[in-house]
Amino acid sequence: MLPLVGGAVAVPLVRRWLRRRAGAREAERAAAAVAALCGAVVGELRAGREPGQALLVALREGLAEDCSSVTPASTGRLGEAEAAVLAAARFGGDVPAALRQAAQGPGLGGLSGMAACWRVAVDGGAGLATGLERLEATLREDRRRREELRAQLAGAWSTVVVLALLPVAGLGLGAALGADPLRVLLHTPGGLACLAVGASLEAAGLYWACRIVRGAEAA
């Protein structure tokens, strides 16, 4: 029964871990798309287009790239909120408000800066291209720092993996010495008690180590 119980416990944990990884990858792609959108809008503005028209062209180019990619569920640069931004830019609506609404999506926080640049340019007559150019540079620098931090934390994650595999290595060593650790752990009262305590300590140690590393990533 123990393998069945272990599998039943592991399935939701693995599923949650996969969802978290998929969400992190999607957020990274969205952040890169925001920086690319800023660069595309700057290029259109430098070419002489009006702000609304420049945003429309940049979003349409991004949508065409997404439709030609291998991702069938792609919804454009800004995800589900892109339709509201397109409508605001096309029909003269409140583009900053639409950008701020889109910025609530995962990885799209840079759109709030784009909305601020847009508002300042409309209200004060400042150069929108200059502000978006600086915003793009800032977003790319933030992404570079995140990648450097991820590379620095790769060693810590490797340590967590090694700690997780140590009990398996111990069982293999015991089996190689002829001690038959699985029979002791699964078919004797003392072994079952040791298994329960060891599994609890292992889970607590892995949780604490992962919490430390994720705390460094969040900071």
Query: For residue 103, which phi and psi values (nearest 5 degrees)?
Result: -65, -10
- Mean pLDDT of all residues in 202-217: 84
What residue spans of 47-127 are helical by DSSP H?
51-67, 82-91, 95-102, 110-124
Q: What is the pLDDT of residues 174-202, one digit of tens each?
A: 888 888 888 888 888 888 898 889 888 88
Q: Where are the domains of the chain?
A: 23-144, 153-218
Query: For residue 76, which phi and psi values (nearest 5 degrees)?
Result: 100, -175
Is the pLDDT at 68 greater than 60? The verdict is: no
With cut-offs at 50, 70 and 90, classify the pLDDT of residue 6: confident
- Mean pLDDT of all residues in 141-155: 87
- Mean pLDDT of all residues in 201-207: 87
With cut-offs at 50, 70 and 90, classify the pLDDT of residue 138: very high
Is the pLDDT at 166 greater than 80? The verdict is: yes
Which pLDDT does position 157 carry in this prediction?
83
Angle, vertex CA 191, rays to CA 186 and CA 196, nearest 5: 85
> Largest alpha-carbon pair distance within the chain?
81
- Mean pLDDT of all residues in 195-211: 87
Which pLDDT does position 186 carry in this prediction?
83
Calculate what percentage of the chain has a pLDDT beyond 70.
89
Q: Check: CB of residue 135 under 8 Å from CB of residue 116.
A: no
Q: Check: CB of residue 95 under 8 Å from CB of residue 55.
A: yes
Which pLDDT does position 19 carry in this prediction?
92
Residues 40, 61: Cα–Cα separation, whole Å: 9
Which pLDDT does position 125 carry in this prediction?
62
Q: What is the mean pLDDT of the chain?
A: 82
- Predicted TM-score (pTM) of this structure: 0.71
Residue with tokens 């119980």: 5
Q: What is the pLDDT of residues 24-53, one digit of tens each?
A: 888 888 888 888 889 989 998 888 888 888
Which pLDDT does position 62 carry in this prediction?
63
Q: Check: CB of residue 182 under 8 Å from CB of residue 171.
A: yes
Alpha-carbon distances of 118 from 42, 73, 127, 155, rounded to whole Å: 12, 29, 9, 42
Which pLDDT does position 70 carry in this prediction?
43
Residues 127, 36: Cα–Cα separation, whole Å: 19
